[in-house]
Amino acid sequence: MSVTTTAPGAVTERWAVGVIDVENDFCEGGSLAVDGGAEVAGRIREWIEREPRRWVARFATADRHPTDLAGHFAPAGEEPNFVGTWPPHCVAGTPGAELHPSLVDGTTETALFDVLVEKGQRTAAYSGFEGTTPDGDSLETWLRSRAVDGVELVGIATDHCVRATALDARRAGFRVRVVSDLCVGITPETVDAALEELRAAGVEVLTTADLVDSTDR
């Protein structure tokens, strides 16, 4: 697939990039580590830095939970099922809830991004569209205020937060691309199912190789 003719950044289309939940707890060494998380964090940074004019807006999302989040964290003494219950993760104020160091300069989490959208403070929130900016705006409001037409999404986990964010972006009427080789997921089966569901919902699932020809924007 080639997307040269619909290059993001073209005059008629305004694209944003969204980096979903690339936090320490979702990377190797974290409490809910997803295989390949740290490596994908590095490649996401390289991709963003390589394409300075690709997007009109850049956002990152971060899960930021309270110490205990009943219904999302498995109850003490019970095993998480890794579908709807999880080990405690991304507790706000802990290193596990910080973006991976590949995406952070010094202590500045927004070095690469225009905004950091935090979610999950009170309830489980897989989608970035459930989160808020530091000004208290929803992600949809933030994107609309920048007249964004489409979002390109990468991050962790393909089968959970990337999936949910992509589906909500479609529901809100945005064009949506998921760059699958810049995402990592929990299991191959649920990743495949999620990508199929996303395609059916009108999300373009592609890889960085598909985008190689679009560097002239």
Strands 57-63, 15-20: parallel, antiparallel or unpaired by DSSP? parallel
Q: Binding of ligand VGL at residue 113 (CB under 6 A)?
A: no
Q: Is 82 exposed, middle or buried (0-12, 13-18, 19+ CB in 10 A)?
A: middle
Please, are residues 40 and 156 in contact by the beta-carbon 8 Å criterion?
A: yes
Q: Binding of ligand VGL at residue 21 (CB under 6 A)?
A: yes
Q: Binding of ligand VGL at residue 54 (CB under 6 A)?
A: no
Please, are residues 153 and 162 in contact by the beta-carbon 8 Å criterion?
A: yes
Q: How far is the CB of 155 from ligand VGL (least distance, A)?
A: 8
- Residues 6 and 17: their CA atoms lie apart, in Å, by 15
The stretch near ligand VGL (CB under 6 A) out of 45-53, 143-151, 153-161, 209-217 is: 153-161
- Residues 1 and 12: their CA atoms lie apart, in Å, by 21
Q: Which two structure tokens, joined as six digits, stand for 41?
A: 């964090």
Q: Binding of ligand VGL at residue 25 (CB under 6 A)?
A: no
Q: Binding of ligand VGL at residue 161 (CB under 6 A)?
A: yes
Which residues on neighbouring strands pair with residue 152, listed in sequence order?
17, 177
Q: Binding of ligand VGL at residue 156 (CB under 6 A)?
A: yes
Nearer to ligand VGL, 29 or 173 (CB): 29
Nearer to ligand VGL, 9 or 66 (CB): 66
Nearer to ligand VGL, 8 or 88 (CB): 88
Nearer to ligand VGL, 45 or 163 (CB): 163
- Is residue 63 part of the annotated active site? The answer reads no
- Is residue 210 part of the annotated active site? The answer reads no
Q: Binding of ligand VGL at residue 86 (CB under 6 A)?
A: yes
3-state helix, strand, coil in the chain (%, to 5): 30, 25, 45
- Is residue 35 part of the annotated active site? The answer reads no
For the chain, where are the E strands, in sequence order? 15-20, 57-63, 115-119, 150-156, 175-184, 204-206
Q: Which residue is catalytic, options 21, 25, 63, 159? A: 21
Residues at the site binding ligand VGL, with contacts judged by CB under 6 A: 21, 26, 63, 86, 156-157, 160-161
